[in-house]
Structure 1
Amino acid sequence: MLTSFLGFSQTLSSNLDKTTLALGEVAIFKIQILDLNGKDVQIAARNELLPFHFEMVNDSIAVQKDIYLRSVKFAVFQEGKFTIPEIEVKVGDKILKTIPYEVEVINTAKKGDQINDIMKNKEVRLDVKDYWELYKFYILLALLFIAIIVLIIGIVKYGRKRKSSPAVTTNQTLKDLEKLKKKNYIENENFRAFYVELIEISRAFITKQYQIPADVLLTDDLITYMKSTNAISEENEKIVEDIFLRGDLVKFAKTIPNQEIMSKDFADIRDFVKRSTKDVEAENLRTLNSGEQENFRNKNT
């Protein structure tokens, strides 16, 4: 179909090669403007000329001094009637319009038509190797994920236990005591600084090794607490009691110890730290025996 408009010497014509289409069949819509005399043409952008039902296959534009040509190839993939509306074209300062077109799209396939494959399907048997090649990436990924989970659980469970074990706590405290010794507080008779740091190290050790809140209890309360729990042997309790009480006296300037007493207190705390693992082992054994006795009583009740 061909239609022409005359507008101040510019001739606009449009053409649609088919008005009835099969589903997916390609049609061509053309617009032509003659006698431009170098004037500017303003029209919808490439691939935006037709409504959304019309799928663009190709949209070509050719412009010369006196002619504008546009050829749009399209297809429609839905049955029904669709309209190409009138399209405005501005040439210079004048507006020109095409006429509308109606396109009917039909389904040419008939009900009951048999669709034949080009080749018959083949049955392929897969063995274990074939399945491995198909799914090995997912299997390896799953195994890696499981390994990461096991590793994290191991680190959390055993790593934490190892870091908080009695032997580790003992060794760390011995290192702290060695650092204290190298400060030469005893040789310089800096008794106050010596006892402050010695008791601070001891409180931190008792808190971690015996789960006794030595870091927050006052000395008298700590002594009472230790004796009530029986977690520390009597020998070690006596050492802690004597040195902590002396440390309080030194802190408040009520007594001034000599180098011999300071050296002995340091050695006693160091020996107490070394012997502490025996206290922990004994406490664990008592707890285990108490648990077994409780289970025995429950079974015979």
Structure 2
Amino acid sequence: MLKHIFLVVFLWLSSSFVYSQNYSVQIATDTNAITIGEQIHITLTYTVSPHSQYQLPVYGEELIPHIVQCKLPDIDTLTIDKDSFQISYTYCVTSFNPGEYSFQLGPILYNLKDTIWTPTIRISVRAEDVDVQADIRDVPPIRQSKYSWFEQNKTWIVWIVASIIFLIVAAGVWWYIQKHKQKPVLIQAAELELPHIRALRLLAEINEKQLCQKNLYKQYYSEISDVLREYFEARLHIPLFERTTDEIIRDVSRTGDLQVAVIQNLQILLHEADLVKFAKYIPSIQQSEIHGGLAVFCVKESSKTEQGEGI
């Protein structure tokens, strides 16, 4: 019985010893001497069993006084085999105080009972050497910009050119509109021609052409009928173009503004014009002159009502 108890105690002690030895800590630096402000990397490599419990140290801005962390440490893991893996912490540090520094990283808590410290790290921080005997040099001249004036002001130039083009186009559009804009016709009141004055003038011009003497009867009667249509349209304010003779006589009679003699002579003249224009009727020169006189009569007589006296 005592032999069995001794065997159990021996196995427990052996197991604890192996388990406690199933880790290793390594430390490495890329250099041990730096100048003020220069950075150095410290790599902590911790090899443990995947079944173990551990807690690595946590630092603030400084690892120790005057050894400052530049950033948070980089963490990397690597599985070696089924019984072990590595954890690497890389610290980037610097110092702004010259001197010799020796320190350890830790403590690392292993399986909640073992406290581990890294081997000692030694860093030498030196100040920049200043040669007080060196000649004082002038301040170097201002360097010229590698960009040309156009490249430096390209944005402004583009905006200015675009604005000029816009103004030119706008001016061209304005000029085109003004050039093709229909100008209002200004007519003096004294230059306005009354309808009956215009009609009598046009009838006189037709008579001076002597169209009947040239056998241009159709043109003669067409021009006379057009003058009468224009005159009575302006006189009575009713549309008379594109109307037949019967429609014209009907419309002017309904106004009640014309004398019966004017309506009768107008009807005779328009029917005679229809015969010449459409039936190829050729009256004598004397008849044509009489019809021209009837046109003048219709204008003069109808204008008496408007003017209050004859012409």
Tell me which interval the TM-score lies in, with the shorter structure as reference length. Answer: 0.3 to 0.5
Quick check: which has more Rg, 1 or 2? Answer: 2
TM-score (norm. length: structure 1) = 0.40
